[in-house]
Structure 1
Amino acid sequence: MIKLFGKMRYHWQPELSWSIIYWSLTFTPIFIALSLLFERTKIPSQVFILFGIFIVLFGSGFHRYFVIDENGKLNIVSLNFFRKSKVAIAQIQKVEVTKSNITLVIKNQPKRIFYMRKWPKKYFLDALAVHPDFRGEVDLIDNFTGLDYFEFYKDDKKAPTRL
């Protein structure tokens, strides 16, 4: 969760299998570059190209976030630079929350799963719930009583505020 240019960004990651594939491909150029360095006594020019590829992939891997607009839209920013996804907040029927992810159920669209850490998820849900256009419901799906993730929030008496 970062406040940049006056807007809050709530960072997420894609489904776990896609994350593993992406981050494996991201770290491949760095290992190839290090093996080239190990084989030679002088630095080959391919090492700099591979380090550059690694830096671009690493930076773009963190370019996934939500932005809640004042005009009732939820911007879902991801690696697809050519198609920005905007969803009307009024179209969100349900938000299913578990320990590691949230699932958005949107009218006439398939479910979308987003993996989020604890604090960005909490602040995102707070901001979404107090938005005047949100008419859906939030389901806390956590049936493990010994590992109840949401008991932590029970004692939090802070009222959600509009950002």
Structure 2
Amino acid sequence: MSRELPQLRKENGEWRIAIDRKDFKNQAGAAKDRAYDMPVRKEVWKDLEIYLKSYRPLLADPNNPYLFVSGDSSGGPMYSLNRQFAAITRRYFRDCPGVGPHVMRHPVATAILKAHPNAWGAAAYVLHDREETVRKAYAHLRGEDTARWLDAMMTESLKGL
């Protein structure tokens, strides 16, 4: 990487993404509560390095300080990426009108809450959102999943009786 990006750093050999509150679209909402500063999963380091070396230079001017770049104008690089993502989701998901990459937060939250029912705080932290917002958006996961999780936990706990 020829130019240092303020949103990405390698600290003690570990990649971290740190995004200031002012750089979020929800800066008046959940983003005002805390800046985003998270380690990048080791499993994606290689892909991150490929992105930095091969793809980011195609998407952004070298003076652009942002790790992830986007644009709403029809000439912007992410405009075509958003359109491609929408075309792919429209093609492969039945009755889907096409959605942008932002929708990927939903499978992430759902996976967390399916594996760990009632882990609302963890899902909110990963999504950089407020717990009450996540509870409202994913309330449909509560009942049955919580019962299954509780049953499995109690079965394990009561094995020795």
**Could you say which structure has the higher strand fraction?**
1
Fold shared by both chains (TM-score > 0.5) = no
User: What is the TM-score normalised by the length of structure 1?
Assistant: 0.27
TM-score (normalizing by structure 2) = 0.27
Tell me which of the two structures has the higher relative contact order, counting C-alpha pairs closer than 8 angstroms and 6 or more residues apart: 1
